[in-house]
Structure 1
């Protein structure tokens, strides 16, 4: 079935200080297309490559490189608007760094990083991605119509995959924990070492490999060898346990006993599935959760520090500033000013 290339992309760049915020159009193309991001050189640089494949499938890869001076900041890339010709599934995975999405269709905000992939089911998108400048990153997106997914893996399996990912309604956006090994073929699909037909065939083979792995992971985990599946189940249980746990974290030895796996193997298996060792992952996870809590609520910083397992609010403030580039009190004051709120000063302790 012959399909046109995707329609033009409507962008209002937020990094380009030479414009007045007017929208620009990135034209559609039937060939590999590169678009340089208008990031000021004192911040860094970046670009995106887009490759249309057979049956209207498209690959999109954005690369972000930042200077050390902006470490801890979140850089708003632009406001992207896109209308799909039919109901479409978009899957995004990241290598390195962290990305925050401010979604307008539907209204939502998500943070995702290696080990957590982003899923969209909609007929359009309107989003502002904010890229964390603490690390270089690359985001790869797969875009395919729902009926193409059904052709590739079968209608019943496609419907089950959408349901297991929590995408039954439309429009909907979700972030789901997906092992890095599952997303690896997608991240490798757009090869710039190849050209022409070979480049497209390689990309299509990697897309099919990824869809098979994703389906096996989400729908039919029983296809994995029993011992491997048992280990994966324990790591998922550990992830769920830690992301719902407040206060001080157990020691690695205690976790090893609780989840019935040697400590070193437990830490290694967790890193393989979620991209970081246990304590690095949870420290980053908790700081992202703290960012949202400070921005959206009036919870006292001391209470928040206790929940996150810090022995003193000053330790929490230092960790927060290392990650985001400013102390937590500044985030709360900035939100109040932006909302024109009045009242007492934020509680710093």
Structure 2
């Protein structure tokens, strides 16, 4: 038996229950493989309340995954192709929660959602974490949000409130219990970004381009970098490159226009203005004053 309740903003909770006549059923029942595509990326939860089953998903693992009560599977996906095999030794009850990432960003903020996906290990689109243990007191919030005695309008409202409660409680749990691991990962990534920045030559990449390379949103990456180095990515890179230019002006005679292009400035006047703001004088004046006097 299957039922689903959907909120007005696209959040969906599906309840499935299966009863088996163990005298007649084989020990396992395979369900035909099926595919589902979404109009946009979603956050997905697959939870087993009772019994167990095996899941096979082409992007998840080459072998099938055994799912039993107590372990939740989280996903960040825009489609899935899955095959289920039911263990008939006990009746089976499952929940599937689907929330558009766009809606989560509205409700919780993009940075918080990015933080949550990273802790769950599902930052990349079409990634899964099939073995994440969440306390029953948190997972049970979704069960309490279902009330078949209500009319459809109030079912949807009750579900909406329950999902918000679940996301908030899950977020607090993840933040308080795994913050140390997250901080280590954040610091490691900030240091990797630092090494990448000081190796750059030429045109400065955008924050979005850097974020894509390091699998993080621009805001999240900038926050991590600022926490580690005390200034934003753009500020650090600007100061680092201007320091490089200052040193080059002191020891060499490369034309200022060539030097400006080498450190990422498309127009020499932009370089001149930035150099003057930092060092108090234009690069040409600085070079002449730094040259050895005969």
- What's the TM-score, normalizing by structure 2? 0.56
Number of positions where the alignment pairs a residue of Structure 1 with one of Structure 2: 177
For 2:80 and 2:21, the matched residues in 1 are separated by: 30
What is the Cα deviation at residue 187 of structure 1?
A: 2.6
**Per the alignment, in what secondary structure is the counterpart of residue 134 of structure 1?**
coil
Taking structure 1 as reference, are residues 210 and 117 closer, same or farther at Cα in structure 2, changes over 3 Å only? same
Taking structure 1 as reference, are residues 190 and 81 closer, same or farther at Cα in structure 2, changes over 3 Å only? farther
Is this contact kept in 2: 1:164–1:218, CA < 8 A?
Answer: yes
Match of 2:67 in 1: 112
1:183-230 per-position Cα deviation (integer Å, ceiling 9, x unaligned): 00113333222122111111111111111121112122399xxxxxxx
Is this contact kept in 2: 1:70–1:134, CA < 8 A?
Answer: no
For 1:122 and 1:95, the matched residues in 2 are separated by: 23
Indicate which of 181, 198, 217 corresponds to 2:154: 198
What is the Cα deviation at residue 95 of structure 1?
A: 1.1
What is the Cα deviation at residue 70 of structure 1?
A: 5.4
For 2:14 and 2:102, the matched residues in 1 are separated by: 20
Say whether 1:87 aligns with 2:41: yes
Could you say which structure has the higher helix fraction?
2
For 1:207 and 1:194, the matched residues in 2 are separated by: 17
Match of 1:219 in 2: 175
Taking structure 1 as reference, are residues 86 and 222 closer, same or farther at Cα in structure 2, changes over 3 Å only? closer
Match of 1:161 in 2: 116
Written as runs of structure 1 = structure 2, the 5 A alignment for 1:226-305 is: none
1:70-109 per-position Cα deviation (integer Å, ceiling 9, x unaligned): 5772222332211100111110111111121110244453
1:162-192 per-position Cα deviation (integer Å, ceiling 9, x unaligned): 0000002221122211111110011333322
Match of 1:123 in 2: 78
**Per the alignment, in what secondary structure is the counterpart of residue 217 of structure 1?**
helix
Which structure has the larger Rg?
2
Taking structure 1 as reference, are residues 189 and 74 closer, same or farther at Cα in structure 2, changes over 3 Å only? farther
Taking structure 1 as reference, are residues 187 and 111 closer, same or farther at Cα in structure 2, changes over 3 Å only? farther
Gaps of 5+ in 1: 1-46, 224-349
What is the Cα deviation at residue 57 of structure 1?
A: 0.9
Match of 1:57 in 2: 11
Match of 1:273 in 2: none
For 1:70 and 1:98, the matched residues in 2 are separated by: 18
Match of 2:140 in 1: 184
